[in-house]
Chains A and B, each alone.
Chain A
Amino acid sequence: MRIVMICLVASILLASCGKSKKPDEQAFLNSLDSAKKGPTIDEEVINSILQQIPSPLEISVLLKESGTKYNFGLLNTPENLSKYNSNYKKALNLGIYGTDLGYTNIYQQNQDGIKYLASIKSLANDLNIGQFFDIETIGRLATNSKNLDSLLLITTQNFNDINHYLQTQGRANLSVLLLTGGWLEAMQITCQVAGKDPKNKELKEKIGEQKIILEQIVLLFSFYKEDENMASLWKDLDELKAAFDKINITYTYKESTMEVVNGVAIIKDNSTTTIDVTDKDIQNITSITNSIRNKIAS
């Protein structure tokens, strides 16, 4: 009988200690979590939008591949670090410096890249996320241009880890600021380059298609309207969105075709987007972007 009782208790205990919680239980726990943080913020929704924001590295690669020369003058100087005294500014400029580091890495300007490492580490430490930024490894990789792939990989992983950590710790607001800073800096660089190369249609389209990303960013800020700083930036971003609203993006879906080559499914995308953007749109967007970015970085 004793064996029976032991088995029974063990079975009940094991069943109740299952890894996945029942949906009802999870929903209840979620409701407790959201109640703590205020009813207007749905962390799950915020996190799902945050993960959509593309890496600024994509724009840096586009600039390099299109033959644009490296220009350190387009970036936010690492010496501005001492100006960032609030968590709000620190998170935004951590994002800005992250984009700048990616830009220097893509162009293999490692000496400039190293200048950003200390500033990034300092901001990350101040925000209690310094443990995710492996400055020693990055610094070591940055000293040899043959390590470019590893350098890009580890910096991307570090920033992904930071964002993931912030989101799981209920500090998604900092993640929003970090990603927004990174996006604004990439926008600012692209706009400056496009201004010097007004006939470059690809760059204009690249700016125009940022409308889709800005809509997501503005949506994110709408969750934080109670925060004075974020509400102020939301207003600025809304002004930028108004400039983007003049751009028409037309999407046409057509079924893709696929073939398998060497174990990889190669897709032929037959859908298209056309982006109607004028020079005036670009000028307007450039002006507002610079104004917002300078307000944040200076």
Chain B
Amino acid sequence: MKYVISSILLVSFVGLLSIQLSGQCNPDSFATACIPKLATGFNFLKSYKVDGEGGAKEKVEYSYVFTKGTQYMINLCANGAATDGIVVTLFDSGRNKVATSKINGQFISAIAYPCNATGIYYIQYTFDGSSGKCGGSALGFKR
């Protein structure tokens, strides 16, 4: 019996340890790494941390005023596979979907958005089958 209890607790200990390790997220490094990946001609504006806190958060959201006549680029960086299931979706101030990085089931690592309507936009990051739920993103612009 003593052996069984010890085994269960040991397994719990190892399990918790692995959760702790896998839960470590350093979105700053991903966000910083994303800046030079903006396409040529785009000026850097902001970097965003995308930390799903190990699954505690379903989405991470930021907002920004986009202006007519300016082209914006939002890219994604994550561990392993290009976007690790992180999807960026752009909504206008009325919460209408304007753009997404998941097209026909394909995860795209950057979206280019030539803005035709000035307003507040919501930049929302979600996790679609993401293993790490951790990444970063950069926003750039060009005229």
Residues of chain B within 8 A of A57, CB atoms compared: 43, 45
Contact with B along A55-73 (1 / 0, CB 8 A): 1011001100100000000
Least Cβ–Cβ distance between B31 and chain A, in angstroms: 10
A260-B117 CB under 8 A given contacts A1-B2, A52-B65: no
Residues of chain B within 8 A of A269, CB atoms compared: 98, 113-117
Contact with A along B61-100 (1 / 0, CB 8 A): 0111111111001000000000000000010111011111
Q: Is the CB of A4 within 8 A of B103?
A: no
Q: Is the CB of A212 within 8 A of B24?
A: no
Contact with A along B1-43 (1 / 0, CB 8 A): 0100110011011001100100110000000000100010001
Residues of chain B within 8 A of A199, CB atoms compared: none
Residues of chain A within 8 A of B119, CB atoms compared: 212, 251, 273
Residues of chain B within 8 A of A273, CB atoms compared: 68, 116-119
The dominant DSSP class at the B interface is: mixed
Give A13 to B70 CA distance when docked, in angstroms.
Answer: 51
**Does A32 sit within 8 A of B, measured CB to CB?**
no
Q: Which parts of A87-111 form the interface with B (CB within 8 Å)?
A: none
Q: Is the CB of A267 within 8 A of B99?
A: yes
Q: Is the CB of A271 within 8 A of B98?
A: yes
Q: Is the CB of A260 within 8 A of B6?
A: no
Residues of chain A within 8 A of B117, CB atoms compared: 251-253, 269, 271-273
A18-B44 CB under 8 A given contacts A65-B143, A153-B35, A260-B103: no
Task: Place the interface of chain B in its size category.
Answer: 35 or more
Task: Place the interface of chain A in its size category.
Answer: 35 or more
CB-defined A-B contacts under 8 Å, sample of 15: A1-B2, A4-B2, A14-B13, A14-B16, A19-B20, A48-B63, A51-B46, A54-B66, A55-B141, A61-B141, A253-B94, A256-B99, A267-B111, A271-B116, A271-B117
Give A209 to B115 CA distance when docked, in angstroms.
Answer: 13
Give A86 to B73 CA distance when docked, in angstroms.
Answer: 39
Q: How many A-B residue pairs have CB under 8 A?
A: 160
Q: Is the CB of B113 within 8 A of A19?
A: no
**Does B126 sit within 8 A of A, measured CB to CB?**
no
Give A46 to B20 CA distance when docked, in angstroms.
Answer: 32
Q: Is the CB of B23 within 8 A of A18?
A: yes
Residues of chain A within 8 A of B143, CB atoms compared: 61-62, 65
Q: Is the CB of A153 within 8 A of B44?
A: yes
**Does B60 sit within 8 A of A, measured CB to CB?**
no
The residue in B24, B90, B93, B99 that gathers the most chain A C-beta atoms within 10 A of its C-beta is: B99
On A, residues with C-beta under 8 Å from B are 1, 3-4, 7-8, 10-11, 14-15, 18-20, 48, 51-55, 57-58, 61-62, 65, 149, 152-153, 156-157, 160, 202, 205-206, 209, 212-213, 216, 249, 251-253, 255-256, 258, 260, 263-273, 275
Residues of chain B within 8 A of A212, CB atoms compared: 65, 118-120
Closest chain A residue to B17, Cβ basis = A14
Closest chain B residue to A8, Cβ basis = B9
A264-B23 CB under 8 A given contacts A156-B44, A270-B116: no
The residue in A4, A249, A263 that gathers the most chain B C-beta atoms within 10 A of its C-beta is: A4
Residues of chain A within 8 A of B46, CB atoms compared: 51, 160
Residues of chain A within 8 A of B68, CB atoms compared: 205, 209, 273
Residues of chain A within 8 A of B110, CB atoms compared: 263-265
Closest chain B residue to A258, Cβ basis = B103
Give A128 to B63 CA distance when docked, in angstroms.
Answer: 28
Q: Is the CB of A271 within 8 A of B92?
A: yes
Least Cβ–Cβ distance between B10 and chain A, in angstroms: 6
Residue in A19, A153, A156, A253 whose beta carbon sits within 8 Å of that of B96 in the complex: A253
